[in-house]
Amino acid sequence: MEVADTRIWNERWRLAALTVDDLIKIGLMSIIVGLAFIMWHYQGNTTDIVAYGRSAFLWVGSRWTRGDGNFSHGWLIFPVGLGLVWWKRRDLAVAPKEVSKLGLALVVCALLLHWLGAKSTRTRVSLLALILLIWSIPFYFYGWKTAKLIIFPCAYLIFCIPLNFLDSLTFPLRILATIISTSTLNGLGIAAERSGSAIYSLAAGGFSFDVADPCSGLRSLLAMTALTAVYAYVTQKTLVKKWLLFLASIPLAIVGNIARITTVALVAEAFGEKVALGLYHDYSGYVVFSVAIGLMVGVGSLLNVNYRELMHQWKQAHTSPILSS
């Protein structure tokens, strides 16, 4: 019987000594990753070549730094994904390892998808192919048990791809936010009316401002979905609860933006329009995320409550006096 090599390579970090087989697999993976980087850097973009060259990485980076800021969170997605893999490191270490032919087939599919994206001048398709490749390589070398553990960290990278069709949500979000904010102000006793995406005070000399595209809430919506996805993955125990919390991020982000617009109007009513649309407006983004994150944590806590056990305890507390009498 062979005894497993349990030598410690680094006592501080408790890193086990690598076998020859492990070194070979790491070397092959490094070569494949290097080739993939070269492929996507030099042949990853076939649109706007004059502006961005052929690098898919430069193309997506330009979208993250675009003036509207809707995808400015893209820089954080990859480090967070790596952090999630590190968080699963112990499970990855003990997972059974075996070469998977299905993983190899997916590697080939990812390369074909990249080819189709390049031929059809769809850089986003090529980036999706890159994400599939990142997941397929460990699947090929280490099998399904390992690949299963990194499904979410790899799928999470989709949040760094700018999906321009979401820009079409800007105007509906503006209208929705102004309708609810106006109703909220009237409910608080501040007479206001809406005209398109603008909110007007009915009082003489009152406030008047327009909810423009940057204030539609799309930016906070995209950022909150990315944040909630990680929070749900880490804090929720079942797949259903993870999805429920993730889907809840959409209305939570909208509520946060409505709170921001409403407080802008309240500050304008109390201190004047100049203060509200100046200093307060510039820093009111913190209101959106404070409200949305607070609600996210609250909803997550409610989902984690064991209601069956809670009901059982309640019944015991209310029936025990009767039984004792």
Answer yes or no: are the C-beta atoms of 154 and 106 closer than 8 Å: no
Asked if the model's pLDDT at residue 122 lies above 60, the reply is yes
Write the DSSP string, 65-107: T-TT-TTTTHHHHHHHHHHHHHHTHHHHHHS-----HHHHHHH
Instruction: Give the contacts of 99 (CB within 8 A, at least 6 positions apart).
Output: 140, 141, 142, 143
The crossing angle, in degrees rounded to 10, of helices 20-43 and 56-64 is 70
Task: Output the pLDDT for position 158.
Answer: 92
Residue 45 near residue 58 (C-beta atoms within 8 A)? yes
Q: Is residue 200 scored above 70 in pLDDT?
A: yes
pLDDT: is 279 or 132 the higher one? 132
Alpha-carbon Rg for the chain in angstroms: 26
CA angle 51, 80, 46 (to 5 degrees): 20
Question: In the prediction, which pLDDT does 18 show?
Answer: 62
The reported pLDDT for the residue numbered 67 is 66
Query: Is residue 154 over pLDDT 60?
Result: yes
- Taking the C-alpha atoms of residue 264 and residue 274, their distance in angstroms, rounded to an integer, is 11
pLDDT tens digits along 293-315: 999 999 999 988 887 887 878 87
Average pLDDT of 73-96?
A: 90
Place of tokens 């009767």: 322
In angstroms, the Cα distances linking 246 to 203, 219, 299 are 41, 16, 10
Which region, left, alpha or beta, applies to residue 47 given φ > 0 means left and ψ of -120 to 50 means alpha?
beta
Give the least confident one: 80-84, 92-96, 120-124.
Answer: 120-124
**pLDDT-derived band of residue 225, with 50, 70 and 90 as boundaries?**
very high
Answer yes or no: is pLDDT of 187 > 50.
yes
Amino acid 3: pLDDT: 44
Check residue 5 and give its pLDDT: 47
Q: Report domain extents, the chain.
A: 8-162, 168-309
Interatomic CA distance for residues 247 and 300, integer angstroms: 12
Flag whether pLDDT at 69 surpasses 80: no
Mean residue pLDDT across the chain: 83
Is residue 7 pLDDT above 50, yes or no?
no
